[in-house]
Amino acid sequence: MAWTERDIPDLTDRTAVVTGANGGLGLQTALALAGAGAHVVMAARDPAKTATAEARIRERYPSASLEVVPLDLGDLSVVSAAASTILAAHEHVDLLVNNAGVMAMPPRTTVDGFEMQLGVDHLGHWAFTAQVLPALLKAPAARVVTVTSTARHRALRALDPADPHLRENYGAWTAYAQAKMANFHFGLGLQRRFARAGVAAQSLIAHPGLSHTDLQARSVREGGAGWTGAFFEALTARTGMTPFEGARPQLRAATDPQAKGGELYAPRFGSNGPAVRRPILRRWDLQKQIDVLWQVSERETGIPLTV
């Protein structure tokens, strides 16, 4: 039988933080975790959209335990404030789902001057995870799930420490691929550090395949995705999985008792299919790329991530 959200075990007394919990995959993830009894911290940017998402979850689960924390991953001061709010309210965090992201945008920078896609998809999550880490390490067996994409395979070059923000040669899809590869390396690198430190926390990766969310439409609206964006918007509308289905890989990575740190969960057939564990293709220079990512991330954000 294929794994579904019905296989999520009882999460009563667990605290789960989901970034981008106000729409798409994040909303479906928050909905499923709340339905399983978790206290869900909805960490998201748009207050009106988040209020609508919260109402939707409460309509489905009237007794849902929900909390809203404003989080703009494109502003490190807001990231720090969000992490501080969570640490002040929760001694431990059992699940962190690094889900939020942007895709194929025209040249744009975050408040801190980072290229927007690397800044939001990776560096914002780097800073958030690093600052929530004390609560994760106090949980009996915390999991961090970072959402990547098959677009990472389009990252033909390794992250360049001299130009991580692609100021010399920006391309919307190049930047997205780089950001999603950073998510991939971050998930693996974090697991290696957890294992080396001998802590109970685990880090896993997930990708949703071809899921019909607002991400594709927004990339077209923003004007940076070009004909490729229009093609994928039409393709996902015709053949993509629903957000409900697309969230299953990250939900399985977060909750399946059999899942282990360092694993990747994704649709069985790449773009579609049930959520399964997929093999990780390890390049000969994988550790070097992870080390470069750590160095660049610490230098750019000024925030170390040590376990």
- C-alpha 204/C-alpha 199 separation (Å) is 15
Give the domain extent around 93: 5-299
Q: What is the pLDDT of residue 269?
A: 82
Residue 244 lies in a domain: yes
For residues 65 and 33, what is the distance between their CA atoms, to the nearest angstrom?
10
Residue 307 lies in a domain: no
Q: Is 164 within a domain?
A: yes
pLDDT tens profile 191-221: 999 999 999 999 999 999 876 665 655 554 5
User: Would you say residue 305 lies in a domain?
Assistant: no
Instruction: Please tell me the predicted confidence (pLDDT) of residue 226.
Output: 53
For residue 155, tell me if it sits in a domain: yes
Tens digit of each residue's pLDDT (9 = 90 or more) over 134-151: 999 999 999 999 999 877
What was the pLDDT predicted at 1? Answer: 80
Question: Which tens digits make up the pLDDT trace of 100-139?
Answer: 999 888 999 999 999 999 999 999 999 999 999 999 999 9
Tokens of 292: 């470069």
**pLDDT band at residue 30 under the 50/70/90 scheme:** very high
Q: Which residues touch 21 (CB under 8 Å, ≥6 apart)?
A: 27, 29, 30, 40, 41, 42, 43, 44, 50, 53, 99
- CATH at 195: 3.40.50.720
**Residues found in the chain:** 307
Q: Which strand ranges, in their side-by-side order, compose the sheet holding 65-70? A: 65-70, 39-44, 15-19, 95-98, 143-147, 202-206, 264-267, 275-278
Residue of 61, 170, 176, 265 marked catalytic:
176
Number of structural domains (the chain) is 1
Residue 306 located in a structural domain: no
Q: Is 170 a catalytic residue?
A: no
- CA–CA gap between residue 33 and residue 111 (Å, rounded): 31
Q: Are 145 and 201 in contact (CB under 8 A)?
A: no
For the segment 40-48, the average pLDDT, to the nearest whole number, is: 97
- In the numeric block, which tokens belong to residue 270? 């790449």
Please, what is the Cα angle at 213 between 211 and 215, to 5 degrees? 105
